[in-house]
Amino acid sequence: MTNIRQELIQYGKKLVETDLTKGTGGNLSVFDREKKQMAITPSGIDFFDIKEEDIVIMDMDGHVVEGHSLPSSEWYMHLIQYQTRDDIDAIIHAHTTYATVLACLREPLPATHYMIAVAGKDVRVADYATYGTKELAVNAAKAMENRRAVLLANHGILAGAKDLLNAFNIVEEVEYCSKIYCIAKSFGNPFVLPEEEMELMAEKFKTYGQRK
């Protein structure tokens, strides 16, 4: 898990450096499918202060098997994805600006820019629940079905992929598409790409999503 620990810290810092989140606002995890264990960032430690030993290892029942820190308060929101999806082995949750604007309006992100295809044909908004609750985890998982990202009402964004590189890419692209949509909406009515075009995009992005 050494590489995984380093990668979690690296992408946590990258979230802050690229202005996608602030301080401790966000959490990341990676799933080891063979060991059936999740490595997750700790609760309440600034990404620039997290050390490898602060990363918490949990089993599929949510028990801490390694680590002295408390796992992120959103640990179950990560774990439920690994319990139910076989296409997701890395998850990033963040409070990015424009995706959170839409989440606060409780407005889903439609396909106004084709790059949304990294997440799916649109990005839904999960029903509101208090942060850190099982209810929020269940709501998020439900709204993320057949998608690789979801907006959390009045909160932020959650994205999942096969690895952290691709999960990070999804967060970046959904944030970009949200920004474009918000700005376009302030000028008029953004055109939404038709269903058949998004089906074509889904085909094209099957390979794009595998980039290493």
**Closest distance of CB 123 from Zn ion, Å:** 16
Instruction: Tell me the residue number closest to Zn ion, measured at CB.
Output: 156
Q: What is the distance between the alpha carbons of residues 12 and 59, in angstroms, rounded to a whole number? A: 22
DSSP codes joined into one string, 134-177: HHHHHHHHHHTTTSSEEEETTTEEEEEESSHHHHHHHHHHHHHH
Contact 160, 171 (CB under 8 A): no
Which segment (41-49, 136-144, 151-159, 171-179) binds Zn ion by CB under 5 A? 151-159
Q: How far is the CB of 189 from Zn ion (least distance, A)?
A: 31
Indicate the residue among 38 and 111 with the shorter CB distance to Zn ion.
38
Shortest Å, Cβ 73 to Zn ion: 8
- Looking at the Cβ atoms of 1 and 133, the one nearer to Zn ion is 133
Whose Cβ is closer to Zn ion: residue 103's or residue 198's? 103
Distances (CA, A) of 79 to 2, 85, 186: 20, 10, 37
Instruction: Using the rule CB under 5 A, give the single segment among 37-45, 156-164, 170-178, 202-210 that binds Zn ion.
Output: 156-164
Cα 86 from chain centroid?
16
User: Is 74 marked active-site?
Assistant: yes
Nearer to Zn ion, 15 or 201 (CB): 15
Using the rule CB under 5 A, give the single segment among 16-24, 52-60, 76-84, 154-162 that binds Zn ion. Answer: 154-162
SS3 content of the chain, % helix, strand, coil (to 5): 45, 20, 40
3-state secondary structure of 188: coil
User: Which one is catalytic: 52, 66, 74, 196?
Assistant: 74
Q: Supply the minimum distance, in Å, between the C-beta of residue 94 and Zn ion.
A: 7
H-only helix segments in the chain: 2-17, 75-84, 97-105, 134-143, 164-187, 195-208
Residues binding Zn ion: number (CB under 5 A): 1
Catalytic residues: 74
**Residues at the interface with Zn ion (CB under 5 A):** 156
